[in-house]
A and B are shown apart, each in its own frame.
Chain A
Amino acid sequence: MKSYLTNLTGAFCLFLVFSTYSLAQSPTDELMMPKNDFCLLFNYEYGEFNQYWEGDFLRKNETIATVQRRTAMLMAAYGITEKLDVYAGLPYISTNSTTPNGGKFAGTFGVQDLSIGLKYKALEKSSDKGDFSLYGSVLFSTPVSNYLSDYQPYSLGLGTPQIAWRGIAHYQLNNGFYGRAAVAYVWKGYTEAERTYYYNDGSYYTPWMDVPSSWNFGLALGKWFFQNALRVELSASNQTSTSGDDIRPYNAPQPTNKVDMTRVGAFAHYYFPKIKGLGVLTYFNQNVAGRNAPKMTSFGVGATYQFGF
């Protein structure tokens, strides 16, 4: 089982995409690449919301009607060793409001943040019942275009460097069921607005805004089907910012806000048994609770292709 799984794992690669406000994309799972294997993922995500939490008040706002967000992302992974993978990803995003809307704001589009990460397999223990493994990952991301973070809710991203430190524990039963837990501390730096004054529970005479860092937690339950050709997973995740202010009444959000949210999702990844290295995936996510966060519904589709050197 173990060797089979390792082989098969070679055929997988994937990031879970947290494209909304929060994390960039991150190496959040337990899958490792064989040494010298290379994997590409192309992913497309559509997200929308017509309500958001202003502080803890769920607001509907006809000024922005339904905000739509489309993300096309190219990612790559490479197995440096059996225990160490390196990742890189680059999303292109476009945003807009549906019409009619009361604000008549132009949406925006462009390349967002380049992310580069490493994931290390720290521990693996097998027993009669299943396999237990532990991972650590670090993901660094930084804006690569001059998008304006202070144009919410249409901003492409937070406009700041971020470093996500993540620990992942995974347990898989021999019958294919598995569970995964992850905890991450996401450091977020400063973003530069194009105004030199803003209010954040007091006056600030600077274009620099302190973007709150956050703790992120994730739980996933899943199962492998059809001789490990299909993986299906249900997940729940939470982001809790360590500081920040609330969106003020009927006012636009800004990067200094304390963004908290809880999300549930479902995910499936299918590996074509007859086409070596090719896989397709799809997922659905829903924000179910939050503070200064959009009540975002999103789904995505993607294709993975893996090959060795």
Chain B
Amino acid sequence: MSAAVHRYLLIAITGLPLGAFLVLAVLAWWGRRWAERTISTVVTLAFGLATVSALVLAGVMACGGERVLTVSAGTWSSPGEYRFDLLLVGDRLSISFAVLTALLACIIGVFSQRYLHREPGYLRFYLLLTLFGAGVEVVALAGDLDLLFVGWELAGLTSALLISFFHERRKPVEHALRAFLTYRACDVGLLAAVVWLHHTTGTSTAGGTAGFAAPAATGNAVLIGVLLLWASMGKAAQVPLGGWLPRAMEGPTPSSAIFYGAISVSLGPYLLLRTESIWAGAPAVRIAIGVVGALTVVHVALVGRVQTDIKSALAYASMTQVGLILVEIGLGLRYLALAHLVAHAGLRSVQILRSPSLIHDYHHLERAMNRPLPRTGAHLERLVPGPAQGWLYRYALERGYFDAWLRDHVIGGFVRLVRRADSLDDRWAQRLSAGRAPARTGLADRREAVTAGHGGSPGTRRKGQES
């Protein structure tokens, strides 16, 4: 088959969802409103065709014996000697992931037509789903880390917006913000890696079967590898950044399924697989990846065991498997990792989609077994000595105290620092404007009022602790 067909198929995989999004979004911007069926049909059709394109392309390439297909969809910009190409690469890895994404998005599109029927945010949901799908396809197929970064950001933004889908309540918004901040913090890693890659190798483009060019110096490779690992840790919800994942279960169930069961958490491992050529030469990075994955598995296996709501339990189950995938990547088992990733995405999506039927299923299970379901966790209690059990349980219930550390000691520390600077600022302003009463606006305001009220003899009253 001709190269032109290949080219169009490859572009169609990302182009169709993107096109569907643009059509819907632009017309909606102009106040156009459609029937629910029209919206979901457009989106489903786009992803369905993208799936077909990807499958056809995979078939054609397999028959033709081609391993890598590189297509340039144009040039972004070329400042100075640099060129930013819109380069798409189709190889075994990227096409598998592209098929997975398009297929799941298509299925979720069909599913949500019933699930979100009569929901006021119907259009918004589909727009975000489409943009997310398009973003992930860009990540999957990007032959250029700059382009990958764009897709990466789109996926992050849309997933945060979908967490806050029910924005009339407070919690979804808070949790979306948390996910968003985690993403932002980690995206710095990706950005830095891209910049450093440009700096050291002069290009961030994948070339042929070799993949991305690795920097000559091992030190640079390690640095870039670690930055990429950092970038992937946020999306893959690895220790210690994984706190956002169970909290992300705020949107409608189908969005939770595709994002946090399947695609979004897989982006982390995918990034590492994609960029393997860069850090493959640096064993330190391998070890780091393996260690992060293993730590996550240990932590999450414990924490997940005490979760009492089904969506959190499934979120931790996802983290467990993604941690294992990272370990596999660290060990260099890339095909195993890819298979694991795909299988996990399918299984977890089904489980999350089925989660509202849990009570129904539990009854059926009980009736099928014809006895009360056996108690789980007994072997844990046998293995772990008594006092340690309580400690371990509390550790798990408090999710490893990561949240508290993050809130009180990392962010809290920062806030306290700012406050101190603020009161220092006040004091200096007072001293400089000696005599004239300055307008105090700082946070220290209230404290002063209280001190003044006490007439300078403050004292706490904590009876309970004294007795």
Physical interaction between A and B: no
